[in-house]
Amino acid sequence: MTTLVTHGPSRRALAGAWPTRGAICAAVLLWSAAAYFGLAFGPGLGDHEVIVAECGRQILQTGDWIVPSYLDVPFVAKPPLSPWLAALAGLVFPTDPETGMPVSATEARLPSAISTLLTALVLCLLGRSMFSRRAGWIAAFVYGTSLGALLFAFNATAEAMLTFFCTWAFAEFWWARGAASPGGQRLHLALFYVALGLGMLTKGPMPLMLVAAPIAVWWWLQRPTRLAARGGLLGGIRLGGRQAWPLLRIALTRLGLSWGVPLFLLMFLPWMILVGLRIPYAWEYWEYEYLDRARGNYPGCHPGNYFYYVPILFGTLLPWCLSLPEAFISPFLAAYHRQRKGLTYAWYWVLVGLVLLSVMSFKKPYYILPAAPGCALLLGPVLERFFFGPDRLSPHRHRLAVGASLGILLAVITVIWFVGRSKYQELWLGNLAWASLLFGIPTVAGCALTGAFFVRKRRVASIWTLALTMLVVFATSWTTLGKDLANVEDPLALVRQLREHGVPDDADLYWASNRPDGRVLFYGCREVRHVLDPYKLLAEKEDRHTTEDLLLVGANHICDLLENERIIYIVFQRDQFSLLMAVLKPPARELFSIDRGKIGADEDDWVIVTNSNVNRQATPTRMGQ
């Protein structure tokens, strides 16, 4: 029978081996190099990213820092910190060389890259205070080279910044609880409220769900959880009941709520008040955007699917996710009893946020990103023990484990490819489908080399190889395949076709289908307008939950525009234009179309229509009037 091998390098012998200062400097330089290529040679902005970039650009053009505008309509749907930082980057760096306008794609994404690096730094410091120097470094190393962090490090949306502020808030609260002096505790508590408030200014009210709620649950259940982990389940339950009121009293008296909550509100509430004074419908719209979304009265809300975020969380932590199962149960394992307090804190960080997001009816895959640093903290002691602890298995079992891991990796790559091909048919076309398979080859090769180093007890080389594989594969695929995913060619093709069909640059161009694609203006310098202010329409409608009614209002207004003597041009999706013509029959003709996605006419194509040279004698009947 194969026996466990208990000999091998001791922890003391390995303690000074890694990471050295040189290793830390090398890691920072390598990540910075990957960031440079990701920012300088990455794909164009996506349709969500361009909202941040265009809002930042309009801030500099108009000088209005209070109410950011998107395509000349006040953009109050999200807090303003992301556009503010994009505008600041536009002030510091030169104008976009292609358009001559402030705020390039690189400048819009730069705050996210910096936020990701800062998140890793905070994780390193937090892990050191929780566990050990090496475990803190591993937590930062894991997060900085994980798929989710890399994806949003080069994305102009608010996710990377939100993750940084959530991580910073968690760290400050932990440091406040361990401060040696009352002054130190007050300082860390003050920074906790500042970080939480800045998170609200980035993407409120997510920090309340992803930071405040996990800390509140941990505050009450940390000691019962640790007691239960030591085998005293009933004692832990009784302790939780006995300490409820004492902990509440301590929270009210020692956590600075009397001055901390005003400090927290000061970070974002003045902006909301100023916007409310200038935009009369802002408060009604925020009720719809936040409260109605929480209640489930929001387009796209689908109750159920409670395990939606579990596979996404595992994918976010690639390539380190194979150790996540042990990390999730580590607070309850005897092997980690010395790190139990810190592991319990990180465990509630991940678990409570995951549960709250899972019970929400409205789900987006990137909502789970602020839980990834908590997972990295859980992985810190686990991977330290795995890579640098004494060998627990024989070489034979090590080889079996490596082979099984590679088999799982191949299966995951295969499943992702087929799921992507079936679920995202409009993207899984041409070179993208087959090139994505080619990138699986160096991924598997790098993981195989990682396993080979591990079996030979070259643990430092093993962990470096896995991280380098992720960085190289991501940077290469991001700068090559990313262009197919962003698909900036469609907006640019629209601008070219307008010019080829003789549409003047100053002609009125409206966008009727969904949200206007701001890349038409950002990259093509072609003005495009909303048919209606969507935020005002949603705020002022009595029954704004009835999507059909809102669509009817928009359709009637489109007909009014087309019946006007003024020549206009409107961009539709093909299926929506066909429906409008079949039902309301406005005076319009198709000027040209942009083939999008699958080759050939389909419902996602853009159709550009005009009222020029159209008989307006017949007045269509309006619906709902």
Q: What is the pLDDT of residues 343-394, one digit of tens each?
A: 999 999 999 999 999 998 888 999 999 999 999 999 999 999 988 887 666 6
Question: Is residue 553 within 8 Å of residue 537, measured between CB atoms?
Answer: yes
Asked if the bond preceding 319 is cis, omega within 30° of 0, the reply is: yes
Question: Is residue 501 within 8 Å of residue 530, measured between CB atoms?
Answer: no
The amino acid that residue 112 corresponds to is S
The pLDDT tens digits of the residues spanning 190-227 come to: 999 999 999 999 998 999 999 999 999 998 887 777 66
CA distances to 182, 387, 413, 414 from 406, in Å: 51, 17, 11, 12
pLDDT at 20: 84
SS3 43: coil
Question: Is residue 591 within 8 Å of residue 608, measured between CB atoms?
Answer: yes
Question: Any residues with CB less than 8 A from the CB of 3 and at least 6 apart, and which?
Answer: 394
pLDDT at 7: 41
Give me the sign of the Cα torsion angle 505, 510, 511, 516. positive
pLDDT band at 398 (very low <50, low <70, confident <90, very high): low
Pairing of strands 73-74, 69-70: antiparallel
Torsion angle of C-alpha atoms 19, 23, 28, 33, degrees rounded to 10:
-140
Q: What whole-number percentage of the chain has pLDDT above 70?
A: 82
Terminal C-alpha separation, the chain: 84
The pLDDT tens digits of the residues spanning 228-279 come to: 666 655 544 555 555 655 666 666 667 888 899 999 999 999 999 999 999 9
Residue 294 has a CB neighbour count (10 Å cut-off) of 14
How far is the C-alpha of 610 from the C-alpha of 463, rounded, in Å? 60
Question: Any residues with CB less than 8 A from the CB of 434 and at least 6 apart, and which?
Answer: none
Q: Which two tokens stand for residue 116?
A: 């990701």
Q: Which two tokens stand for residue 478?
A: 């991001």
Q: How high does pLDDT run on average in the chain? A: 84
- Helix-helix angle 372-388:309-316, to 10 degrees: 50
Residue 551 has a CB neighbour count (10 Å cut-off) of 13
The pLDDT tens digits of the residues spanning 6-16 come to: 344 444 444 44
CA distances to 113, 268, 278, 294, 539 from 282, in Å: 31, 15, 9, 18, 7
Per DSSP, 102 falls in state: S
Q: Which two tokens stand for residue 546?
A: 């009835």
How far is the C-alpha of 297 from the C-alpha of 134, rounded, in Å? 47
Distance of CA 380 to the CA centre of its chain: 22
pLDDT at 3: 36
Question: Is residue 124 within 8 Å of residue 136, measured between CB atoms?
Answer: yes
SS3 74: strand
Pairing of strands 606-610, 589-594: antiparallel
Kind plus residue range of the DSSP H or E element containing 511:
strand 508-511
| ∠ Cα 66 40 490 (to 5°) | 75
Question: Any residues with CB less than 8 A from the CB of 273 and at least 6 apart, and which?
Answer: none
Q: Which two tokens stand for residue 471?
A: 């960085």
Q: Where are the alpha helices (DSSP H) in 178-243?
A: 182-203, 206-207, 213-229, 233-242
Residue 500 pLDDT > 90: yes
Give the residue, 555 or 49, on which the prediction is more confident. Answer: 49
How far is the C-alpha of 275 from the C-alpha of 80, rounded, in Å? 11
Q: What share of the chain is helix, strand, coil (3-state, %, to 5)?
A: 65, 5, 30
The pLDDT tens digits of the residues spanning 431-441 come to: 666 666 667 77
Note the pTM of the prediction, 2 decimals: 0.91
Torsion angle of C-alpha atoms 285, 291, 295, 299, degrees rounded to 10:
30
pLDDT band at 443 (very low <50, low <70, confident <90, very high): confident
| ∠ Cα 103 106 110 (to 5°) | 95
Residue 155 pLDDT > 60: yes
Per DSSP, 457 falls in state: T
Asked if the bond preceding 516 is cis, omega within 30° of 0, the reply is: no
**Which region among 50-64, 175-189, 225-239, 361-375 has the lowest average model confidence (pLDDT)?**
225-239
Question: Residues of 365-391 as b/e, b for ≥16 C-beta within 10 angstroms?
Answer: ebbbbbbbbbbbbbbbbbbbbbbbbeb
Distance of CA 295 to the CA centre of its chain: 22
pLDDT band at 527 (very low <50, low <70, confident <90, very high): very high
**Which region among 32-36, 91-95, 221-225 has the lowest average model confidence (pLDDT)?**
221-225
Give the residue, 167 or 596, on which the prediction is more confident. Answer: 167
Question: Is residue 247 within 8 Å of residue 218, measured between CB atoms?
Answer: no
pLDDT at 330: 94
Kind plus residue range of the DSSP H or E element containing 37:
helix 21-40
SS3 292: helix
pLDDT at 482: 73
How far is the C-alpha of 443 from the C-alpha of 130, rounded, in Å? 32
Question: Is residue 6 within 8 Å of residue 449, measured between CB atoms?
Answer: no
pLDDT at 433: 62
Give the residue, 413 or 536, on which the prediction is more confident. Answer: 536
